[in-house]
Structure 1
Amino acid sequence: MAESRKKQTKPKQSNRKYIIGFWTLFGVGVLAVIFFFLLAGWGVFGKMPTFEELENPETNLATELISSDGETLGKYYRENRTPIKYDDLPQHLVQALVATEDERFYKHAGIDARGTVRAAVYLGAKGGASTITQQLSKQLFTEDFSTDNTFERVLQKMKEWVIATRLERQYTKEEIITMYLNKYDFLYQAVGVRSASRIYFDKEPKDLKPEESAVLVAMLKNSALYNPVRRPDLVENRRNQVFVQMYKNGFLTEQQKDSLQQTEMKITFSPEGHDDGIATYFREYTRQFLTDWIEENPKPDGEKYNLYRDGLKVYTSIDSKMQEYAEDAVTKHLAHIQQEFDRQNKNNRTSPFRDIDQSMIDNIINGSIKRSARYSKMKREGKSEEEILASFDEPREMRIFSWKGDIDTTMTPRDSIRYYKSFLQAGLMSMDPTTGEVKAWVGGTNFKHFKYDHVKQGKRQVGSTFKPFVYATAIDQLKMSPCDTLPLNRFTIPAGKYGNIKDWSPRNSGSGDDVYSGMMSLKEALANSVNTVTARVIDKTTPGNVISLISKLGIDTEGFPTGPAIALGTADISLYEMVSAYSTFANKGVRVKPVLITRIEDKNGTVLFQNVPETYDVMSEEAAYVTVNLMEGVTRYGSGARLRGTGREVRLDYQRAVTGYPYDFKNPIAGKTGTTQNQSDGWFMGMVPNLVTGVWVGAEDRAVHFPGITYGQGATMALPVWGMYMKSVYANEDLNISQDDFERPENLSISVDCATYGKSNNPDSGAVEELDF
């Protein structure tokens, strides 16, 4: 019996040994894991984030340019990231994320134990175990590397776990979701869900539909693989699987799931590159402004702001709708008039140049070569002049601009330079004269291919749009009235009177003695752009007084010509300066410096810059009103019997085809067209009480122009842009653009109500400067 008991106790001793051994090994394993966790947390296996880093994770936030109506115009970034708050996320996006990426997200503390065990047992065959928090930890703080070394992968995973648990202690679940969606790279410079929503669907995240949210969640598995632009079918299948997960987790009914799976996947691809989107020329101007501002305004600690990663909010004066209308008008008009320009150049042996010989053409092309990026780059690389010039004659594949879309072709860089010279360009600026706020800025036709800004960079001869400055000087200083009359006969200012080299005798257009006989009121003389009357006016005021006035109006007069010929617009002035100057007339003689940036904030909303309007009293309210009244005469009386044989019919046909002529503006409008020598520049300046808009059209080089006045004048080149733009602006009643009369001063002492307008059948000096309203 005793022997039997001995035999029965032996197994118990043996089991105890195994049990003790198991728990010992288990304990050692647990301690080892804890020890490894501690080592990872202490940074033994690599740098770990500090408490401050967890509070303020580096996210390379893009600087955002915001319009006056709250729309994003563009961004400056290394990574295109603009964070949003949890409240701005649609609920179905959050549900799709949790259902697809981390079903037990709200139940774990950063590590999903059940998922980890499942992944370990099945070696990942039934899904991984990486939680949303772990994915965020990897994005924020751990190195992004792949390795075949199992030990290194284990260490990497441990670091993720440690950081994930810290994130869970530090942040709420909502904050973790928000950080994750703000950090993820959705391709095409779409870093973060807000950029992705705008780039793939052209809308803010809060406006996403459930099927659109599912597309973005589908991309989270692998955005390079699940690319909706390149692999739409693959992404649609993955999107439908997201719906399955949402149904499985109770976020969708079966009927909703089936309905959504049948929904067509629609992508509205709207890239946000620096060359894409609206207001590209304005954005480039603003980038330069901000670069200078940053140099002069450091942070409190002395460090400089970083335009590309500090998440500044830059509030601008631009109205996004008006900007769209302006760009649309420029595009529509230029695309159409370019066809006529190309047609007229078909038989031009020196196309696109006119009136110059081959040596001058060569000088233009060679000058452009030396200003090109290619030339500068090769020069920096130490290439010789011969090597550089030879490279411009080597054919190469390139993508070139056309109004029908970019074209892939092969040509030499020299030929591409000549090709680009053939395109007409345009500039438009629109400004509220009462506040100085610039509402629209179109610097050219296509920023990607034509970087030069024709609003502020470019200065061109302004033609007859300069004449209102001459008349304004006479009204302000001499109290001349629009009803005053002057003779039309030939008029000469002798050499030496104003420093000019020889006698100056401007001509009126037309033929015969009739164009130089009789009298004409100032109002009709400006409306018909009569040169001899303008010459008499500047002789009365003197060129020096005119230059003094335009300087006060904000025009840079350094190096300005001083002779009386400036009356006919021989000086080079930027569109920016012209709009600013004309705005003074509309604003009762007070010049308000153009406002582009209204406010700058840091990423926390602290105001760093607040614009303070700069105003200058330039002329009396009476003089400003009388000048405006003169320009109203241009739009009311600038047509008449003289239109016969001037090409008006051609313009009407053109405007019917392009702009839906007539514009049918019944409200008071003040304006002036301008055409320069050889039809190199076409201008129109148009004003209503609370909006002044200037338009310039021409080619990059003055030797590229229309051969005749019919298409080469301001009324055909520039006016249609203004007309289409204003038609769209007036159609949008929310913009509140005035259709009222310009306010008449009390006790007006200068007569503006002229009973007659002199010789109404007299032609003008610019051939056809009238407006077709």
Structure 2
Amino acid sequence: MATATNKKKSETPVGKHIRTFWKIFAIGIGLILLMFLFASWGFFGSLPDETSLENPEKNLATEIIATDGKVIGKFYKENRTPVPYEELPDHLVNALIATEDVRFYDHSGIDAKGTVRAFVFLGSKGGASTITQQLAKLFFTEQVSRNKLQRGLQKIKEWVIATRLERRYTKEEIITMYFNEYDFLNQAVGIESAANIYFDKAPTDLTTVESAMLVGMFKNSSLYNPLRNPVGVKNRRNVVLAQMEKYDFISESVKDSLQALPLEFTYTPQGHDEGIATYFREYARAYMQDWIDKNPKTDGSKYNVYSDGLKVFTTIDSRMQTYAEQAMDDHLSNLQKEFDRQNESNKTAPFRDLTDEETEQIMRTAMKRSDRWRELEKQGKSEKEIIASFKKKTKMRIFTWKNEEHVIDTTMTPMDSIRYYKSFLQASLMSMTPQTGEVKAWVGGIDYKHFKYDMVKTGKRQIGSTFKPFVYATAIDQMHMSPCDTLPNTPFTIPAGTYGLLKPWTPKNSGGTSGGMLTLKDALAQSINTVTARLMYRVGPRPVIDLVKKMGVDTKDMPEAPSIALGTADVSLYEMVGAYSVFANQGVYVKPTLISRIEDKNGTVLYQNVPETKDVISEESAYVTVSLMEGVTQSGSGNRLRSKWRVNDPVYKRAVTGYPYEFKNPIAGKTGTTQNNSDGWFMGMVPNLVTGVWVGGEDRATHFQNTGYGQGATMALPIWAMYMKKCYANEELDVSDERFKRPSKLTITTDCASWKEENSDIDGDDTDEFDF
């Protein structure tokens, strides 16, 4: 007892402090362990279960993929498309590790050394958060709290989750998830979107300096954003490069050379209004929604086009799509200048041939269809108040051809903006492989952001003389006529009572009737209305309507009248390209296809397109009709495709160089011009590509004053020619420049020179005149 008393007396104050310290230390360690236990038990809020850890929930973007492999668009809540570790370049991974967590491969989620350093120096010499902890923070915790106590609890949860992640995933998988999850802003969620949006390339193609910029954004993508803070981003990029040199991922000389480079990036937004094929992407969105409604998941739930990470493989070729859009921009920007020039002296611009009352009605209808009207109506505004708002000037961003961005900021009244937009000529193009039905290019208008109405499939317009080949094809198929057969080029009348006519019908030719005889080939090349009327009189409207119906044209509103021979019916460009493809495909109709395959995020095929085909006319009749249409580009309204000079082209009349076309290969086609020059068409075919172009105003009263400018050969044909020149220049596309396939047994003569010699009449008249 005395000994114990002596020990107490002999204990120094220092010894007591040491004992107290270790007690406090042990209690602290115990509390920390207890805090971790409480966190793992969910006392500080729920933690993800093992299922959530194995399958972290993400909003994955649906990708729209062109046939050449390029992603041309996405549908998303968050623009995220995961990429595997193998597609992350080494310098990208090295940049992340050097900057964020150099001991990443040595710890198990928590860097003890870094934690102690951060604790001792209060974070002044770097934080302790590992890549795994940052991933845990991105995946499984709520928004970061500014309250220090709550943030401390969140940090503990992140540590617990980080250790769980390390037990379940490899280091490579953790790196991959982190790159795929981080939000780089500007709709760039994940490295795939970031690489494409900031550099217009895939992650695998990133350079070291580009990787350094993106890794630098991990510190704070809101602060270090190249669009808003290029100086700060460059400085941060150089810090990343310095870290890479510090840990021997790059040499000092490489670091110095890369740090000296200016900050360069190619901002390529992936919004729904930007990029290529915007009109097609809207079509694809509607198609996918319809497919989703009809094809539920195995558990009965519906796919979500914005979050399930579907892959939609299309028939669109991104190169051909780009060429088509460039051709339209190049021609329409020139054509619009001439249109605007002519309207300077037009008191009712942009309309013609309308009374004041008719103009007022057009403007009032457009006003009531506008978003502004609907929005104000929802707010409970009266009609008088709404109309008044359309007369007040307001700041707005409007479309223009005057700069590359196609937008300018201005101030005008909403009513003036309606008239302004109606002054623009619109256009559409569709290009298709006739043998497979695969649509290669789809341009529904001049600018989706400002003109969302799709004139490929949704819009229907009068087709003018582009309808005539269907009349000729019916006569060839039923009557075995030859392109060399002749008909009078004289006035012709179909009498009243014929085919339901209430009064006689006497069509006129745009250039008058010169008399004499014309071969069918010359008649179609010159688009002679009277000859087409004679053919219609012989075959009747019903067989022609039945033919185009088999070719995929909606005929329910097509009147059974002889006048359809001249193209009075309204038909969509989509239908016209599909119908013309029958001629190039030896008489077989193949329904146009745009979606070839749909896969889920795991690559499981959910849908595979099966082409829909139908025999329409004989191979011989199709070939003979093609032969007729070749005459259009040889000596008719489409001959400027082969001409050397521009002197006859009103749009390019100021040019002194030759046409940029000068096609030498076989081309079959047909121009079309509707009444008052409201619509200009050109349908052009080579053996493996059929392309149609339409140009016109939103309203039919918006048109050129004369046919010189308003005809299809001036408005639409140049777009076709520019597009095809670009396609031919790219040999990878393999667009045919060969002759159309000739049937093995051809009983109808298409060589008119030989036919004329063999069929001379004994009386010296070397033509056969059909009496109708």
Q: TM range, normalised to the smaller chain?
A: over 0.9
Matched, 1:321 2:322: no
| Offset of residue 231 of structure 1 | 1.3
Distance in 2 of aligned mates of 1:695 and 1:131: 57
**1:528/1:638 contact within 8 Å kept:** yes
Matched, 1:562 2:551: no
Q: Which of the numbers 186, 197, 200 marks the counterpart of 1:199?
A: 197
Residue type at the aligned position of 1:147: R
**2:646/2:658 contact within 8 Å kept:** no
| Offset of residue 57 of structure 1 | 0.6
| Offset of residue 588 of structure 1 | 0.3
**2:312/2:595 contact within 8 Å kept:** yes
**1:524/1:757 contact within 8 Å kept:** no
Alignment of 1:148-167 (within 5 A): 148=147, 150-167=148-165
Distance in 2 of aligned mates of 1:553 and 1:743: 20
**2:667/2:686 contact within 8 Å kept:** yes
**2:651/2:709 contact within 8 Å kept:** no
Return 5+ residue gaps in structure 2 as ranges.
Answer: 757-772
Residue type at the aligned position of 2:261: T
SS state at 2:740 partner: coil
Residue type at the aligned position of 2:610: V
Q: In the TM superposition, what whole-angstrom CA distance separates every residue of 1:156-182 from its partner, at most 9, and x where no partner exists? A: 100111111111111111111111111
| Offset of residue 649 of structure 1 | 2.8
Distance in 1 of aligned mates of 2:225 and 2:540: 68
SS state at 1:325 partner: helix
Distance in 1 of aligned mates of 2:395 and 2:105: 55
Aligned to 1:450: 451
| Offset of residue 11 of structure 1 | 3.8
Aligned to 2:769: none
Relative distance call for 1:6 and 1:15 in structure 2 (3 A) is farther
| Offset of residue 403 of structure 1 | 0.7
Matched, 1:93 2:78: no
Q: Which of the numbers 332, 339, 364 marks the counterpart of 2:362?
A: 364
Residue type at the aligned position of 1:719: L
Distance in 1 of aligned mates of 2:653 and 2:161: 66
**1:684/1:714 contact within 8 Å kept:** yes
| Offset of residue 147 of structure 1 | 2.0
Residue type at the aligned position of 1:455: V
Matched, 1:119 2:124: no
| Offset of residue 377 of structure 1 | 2.3
| Offset of residue 650 of structure 1 | 3.8
**1:400/1:409 contact within 8 Å kept:** yes
Residue type at the aligned position of 2:500: G
| Offset of residue 369 of structure 1 | 1.4
Residue type at the aligned position of 2:603: G
Distance in 2 of aligned mates of 1:640 and 1:588: 23
Residue type at the aligned position of 2:89: P
**2:280/2:442 contact within 8 Å kept:** yes
Q: In the TM superposition, what whole-angstrom CA distance separates every residue of 1:438-466 from its partner, at most 9, and x where no partner exists? A: 00000111110010111001100011000
Aligned to 2:411: 410
Distance in 1 of aligned mates of 2:454 and 2:639: 39
Distance in 1 of aligned mates of 2:658 and 2:675: 29
Distance in 1 of aligned mates of 2:581 and 2:399: 35
Distance in 2 of aligned mates of 1:318 and 1:64: 13
Aligned to 1:76: 75
Q: In the TM superposition, what whole-angstrom CA distance separates every residue of 1:222-242 from its partner, at most 9, and x where no partner exists? A: 111111112111111111111
TM-score of the aligned structures, taking structure 1 as reference length: 0.94
**1:482/1:751 contact within 8 Å kept:** yes
Distance in 2 of aligned mates of 1:659 and 1:60: 54
Aligned to 2:31: 32
Matched, 1:423 2:424: yes
Distance in 1 of aligned mates of 2:557 and 2:467: 17
Relative distance call for 1:343 and 1:718 in structure 2 (3 A) is same
| Offset of residue 374 of structure 1 | 1.8
Distance in 1 of aligned mates of 2:702 and 2:650: 24
Residue type at the aligned position of 1:463: G
Aligned to 1:741: 739
| Offset of residue 153 of structure 1 | 1.5
Relative distance call for 1:136 and 1:746 in structure 2 (3 A) is same
Relative distance call for 1:189 and 1:757 in structure 2 (3 A) is farther
| Offset of residue 6 of structure 1 | 8.4
Residue type at the aligned position of 2:56: P
Residue type at the aligned position of 2:481: M
Distance in 1 of aligned mates of 2:664 and 2:730: 16
Residue type at the aligned position of 2:722: M
| Offset of residue 31 of structure 1 | 2.0
**2:456/2:572 contact within 8 Å kept:** yes
| Offset of residue 17 of structure 1 | 5.1
Matched, 1:682 2:689: no
Aligned to 2:592: 594
Distance in 2 of aligned mates of 1:325 and 1:107: 52
Distance in 1 of aligned mates of 2:599 and 2:244: 39
SS state at 2:647 partner: helix
Q: In the TM superposition, what whole-angstrom CA distance separates every residue of 1:560-615 from its partner, at most 9, and x where no partner exists? A: 12210100011100000000000011000000000100000000000000000100
**1:65/1:72 contact within 8 Å kept:** yes
Distance in 1 of aligned mates of 2:510 and 2:256: 75
Aligned to 1:633: 631
Q: Count residues with an aligned counterpart.
A: 750
**1:200/1:267 contact within 8 Å kept:** yes
| Offset of residue 117 of structure 1 | 1.6
Q: In the TM superposition, what whole-angstrom CA distance separates every residue of 1:512-541 from its partner, at most 9, and x where no partner exists? A: xxx241111111100000011000001111
Relative distance call for 1:332 and 1:15 in structure 2 (3 A) is same
Q: Which of the numbers 628, 653, 670 marks the counterpart of 2:668?
A: 670
Alignment of 1:168-187 (within 5 A): 168-187=166-185
SS state at 1:162 partner: helix
Relative distance call for 1:112 and 1:207 in structure 2 (3 A) is same
Distance in 2 of aligned mates of 1:349 and 1:127: 72
**2:672/2:712 contact within 8 Å kept:** yes
Aligned to 2:752: 754
Return 5+ residue gaps in structure 1 as ranges.
Answer: 759-773
Distance in 1 of aligned mates of 2:498 and 2:152: 91
Aligned to 1:771: none
Distance in 1 of aligned mates of 2:167 and 2:567: 71
**2:324/2:429 contact within 8 Å kept:** yes
Distance in 1 of aligned mates of 2:275 and 2:41: 47
Residue type at the aligned position of 1:47: S
Matched, 1:551 2:552: no
Aligned to 2:707: 709
SS state at 1:651 partner: coil
Alignment of 1:395-406 (within 5 A): 395-404=393-402, 405-406=406-407
Matched, 1:488 2:489: yes
**2:138/2:181 contact within 8 Å kept:** yes
Q: In the TM superposition, what whole-angstrom CA distance separates every residue of 1:614-660 from its partner, at most 9, and x where no partner exists? A: 00011110111111111011111216999xxxx98340771784996
SS state at 1:160 partner: helix
**1:431/1:691 contact within 8 Å kept:** yes
TM-score of the aligned structures, taking structure 2 as reference length: 0.94
Q: In the TM superposition, what whole-angstrom CA distance separates every residue of 1:190-227 from its partner, at most 9, and x where no partner exists? A: 01111010111111011011110011011111111111
Q: Which of the numbers 259, 267, 274 marks the counterpart of 1:261?
A: 259
Relative distance call for 1:383 and 1:501 in structure 2 (3 A) is farther
Aligned to 2:216: 218
Distance in 1 of aligned mates of 2:654 and 2:566: 31
Residue type at the aligned position of 2:491: R
Relative distance call for 1:432 and 1:639 in structure 2 (3 A) is closer
Distance in 2 of aligned mates of 1:59 and 1:323: 31
Matched, 1:438 2:442: no
Distance in 1 of aligned mates of 2:614 and 2:174: 53
| Offset of residue 694 of structure 1 | 0.2
Q: In the TM superposition, what whole-angstrom CA distance separates every residue of 1:490-519 from its partner, at most 9, and x where no partner exists? A: 1111222112332110012335xxx24111
The sequence identity of aligned pairs, in percent, is 64
SS state at 2:753 partner: coil
Distance in 2 of aligned mates of 1:737 and 1:447: 28
Q: In the TM superposition, what whole-angstrom CA distance separates every residue of 1:312-354 from its partner, at most 9, and x where no partner exists? A: 0000000010001000000000011111111111111111111
SS state at 1:105 partner: coil
SS state at 1:111 partner: coil
